[in-house]
Amino acid sequence: MATTETPNRSWWHRNQQTLTPLLFLAPGLLMFAVYVVWPIFSSFRLSLYDYDGLGRKVWLGLANYRELFADRAFKTSLKNNVIWLVLYMLAVPAGLAIAIFLNQTVRGIRIYKSLFFFPFVISQVVVGLMFAWFYAPNFGLLYKLIEMVTGKGIAVLADPHLATYGIIAAGLWPQIAYCMILDLTGLNNVAPDQIEAARLDGAKGLKMLWYVILPQLRPATFIAVVVTVIGALRSFDLVSIMTNGGPFGSTRVLSYYMYEQALSEYGYRMGYGAAIAVVLFGIMMIFISGFIWKMVRDERGAR
């Protein structure tokens, strides 16, 4: 560094420790603020208006929310979201089970692991199409199988009582794969000496799993729960591809219902859609704050 620099440069020099992070943060933070942070507030505001994307926005106050409480479709969506959340959680133990099954060192096991994982890599659109084909009335594989066993096929996606479960099953497929890979990585890092010590104490099977392995898998399980909750609440793609919310709205979830109200052919109630989004956001916030709280605590502990 030459000493013949302008005073300007040396001012920069003195302050670069403070300024560098600001400059480095600025572009990313700006983009994030414009595309993620500001829209959240904007949606909150919009949810208080009646707006069809064409005319003027009309102030409604809380009327959109009052309407939500009486809206049968909203209740169905909310109920289905709860079903999604509960059943999606099956991915966590199911993923663990497959991980344990695959955590061996026989020949070719790496290929098996990749192939078991690979549903997760496929787009949900494709997963939805695959399962729609699997369930299809009259010629779908599942329909045929059931017909072979019971004599009468079941068209899962035509039955208002079954359709949601059919879609969740499709969603679980990649989700289990995701949880599996988290657990496999976790299992790889379980301290071998602790296992040996426990073995000497006579622990094995489920007991070993419960008292020795699971506590060590806690970080993997935490992430698995987080991604599964988010996945369950984001269940838009499969519903849209497989049923469009039907038959007669029985498979709607909040994320889909919001889109339907705000932007679909029969929709354009953007204010009402925004109100649905706010409710969904509220539900997500319950989980987010829990996750963040735990992460902040870990962060503090690490420092």
Partner 1 sequence: MLHLNKGASAALIVGLLSSTAAFADQRVLNYYADYDAIPLAAMEALIADFEAANPDIDVVLQNFDHEGYKTAIRNFLTTDAPDLANWYAGNRMAPFVESGQFMDVSDVWADNGLNESLGSALASMTIDGKQWGIPYTYYQWGIYYNKDAYAAVGAEVPTTWDEFVANCEKFAAAGIDCLTTGTSALWPGAGIFDYLDLRTNGYEYHMDLTSGKIAWTDEGVRNTFAEWAKVQPYITANHAAIDWQDAAALLVQGKAANYVMGNFAVGVFKQGGMTNDNLGFMPFPTINPDVARAEEAPTDTIHIPSGATNVEDAKTFLAFIASADAQTKLNAAIGQLPINSGSTVAADDPFISAGFELLSTTPGGIAQFFDRDAPAEMAKIGMEGFQEFMVLPENLDAILERLEAARQRIYN
Partner 2 sequence: MFPRPIEKSSPAVRTLYKVALPVALLLWLFPLLGVALTSLRPASDLAMGNYFGIPSSIAFSNYADVFNNSPIGQYILNSFKVTIPTVIGTLVLSCMTGFALGIYRFRGNIIVFFLFVAGNFVPFQILMVPVRDLTYNLGLYNTTGGLALFHIAFQTGFCTLFMRNFIAALPRELIEAARVEGVAEWRIFWYIVLPLMRPAIAALSVLVFTFIWNDFFWATVLTTSASTQPVTAGLSSLNGQWIAAWHLVSAGSIVAALPPVLMFFLMQKHFIAGLTLGAVK
Nearer to partner 2, 86 or 122 (CB): 122
Question: Which is nearer to partner 2, 63 or 208 (by Cβ)?
Answer: 208
93 binds partner 1 (CB under 8 A): no
In the complex, least distance from residue 248 CB atom to partner 1, rounded to whole angstroms: 4
Distances (CA, A) of 245 to 126, 225, 252: 18, 26, 4
Query: Should residue 287 be labelled a site residue for partner 2 when binding is judged by CB under 8 A?
Result: yes
- Write out the binding residues for partner 1, residues 260-279 only, by CB under 8 A: 260, 263, 265-269
Residue 121 interaction partner, one of partner 2, partner 1, none, beta carbon < 5-8 Å per kind = partner 2
In sequence order, the 6+-apart residues with CB closer than 8 A to the CB of 116 are: 98, 102, 177, 180
96, 157, 212, 239: which one binds partner 2 (CB under 8 A):
212
Residue placing its CB nearer to partner 2 in the complex, 86 or 141: 141
Closest by alpha carbon to 159, among 233, 74, 247? 247
**Structural contact between residues 175 and 228, judged by C-beta atoms closer than 8 angstroms:** yes
Residue 76 beta carbon to partner 2: minimum distance, rounded to whole angstroms: 17
Among 136, 180, 229, 274, binds partner 1 (CB under 8 A): 136
Helices (H) and strands (E) counted in the chain, each on its own, are 16, 2
Nearest-approach distance from CB 161 to partner 2, in angstroms: 22
8 A C-beta contact, residue 165 and residue 87? yes
* Structure tokens, 54: 């064409």
Contacts of 131 (CB under 8 A, 6+ apart): 166, 167, 169, 170, 173, 238, 242
Query: Tell me, what amino acid is at 172?
Result: L
> What SS3 state is found at 154?
coil
Candidates 42-50, 62-70, 82-90, 160-168: pick the segment binding partner 2 (CB under 8 A).
42-50
Q: How far apart are CA 137 and CA 140, in angstroms?
A: 6
| 82 contacts partner 2 (rule: CB under 8 A) | no
Binding partner 1 by CB under 8 A: which of 21, 39, 137, 215? 137
* Amino acid residing at 168: I
From 244, 281, 287, 288, residue interacting with partner 1 (rule: CB under 8 A)? 244
Q: Can you tell me which of 198, 246, 281, 291 binds partner 1, judged by CB under 8 A?
A: 246
> CB under 8 Å, gap of 24 or more: what pairs does 116-123 form?
116/177, 116/180, 117/177, 117/178, 117/180, 117/181, 118/177, 119/173, 119/174, 119/177, 120/174, 120/175, 120/177, 120/178, 120/181, 122/174, 123/237
Stretch of 2-10, 47-55, 80-88, 283-291 contacting partner 1, by CB under 8 A: 47-55
By CB under 8 A, the residues from 221 to 260 that bind partner 2 are: 223, 230, 233-234, 236-237, 240-241, 254-255, 258-259
- Contacted entry of partner 1, partner 2, none for residue 151, CB cut-off 5 to 8 Å set by kind: none
Asked if 17 touches partner 2 (CB under 8 A), the answer is: yes
Q: Interacting stretch for partner 1, rule CB under 8 A, among 12-20, 106-114, 116-124, 150-158?
A: 150-158
Placement of tokens 């499709």 in the chain: 170
Binding site for partner 1 (CB under 8 A): 52-55, 67, 72, 135-138, 155-158, 160, 243-244, 246-249, 260, 263, 265-269
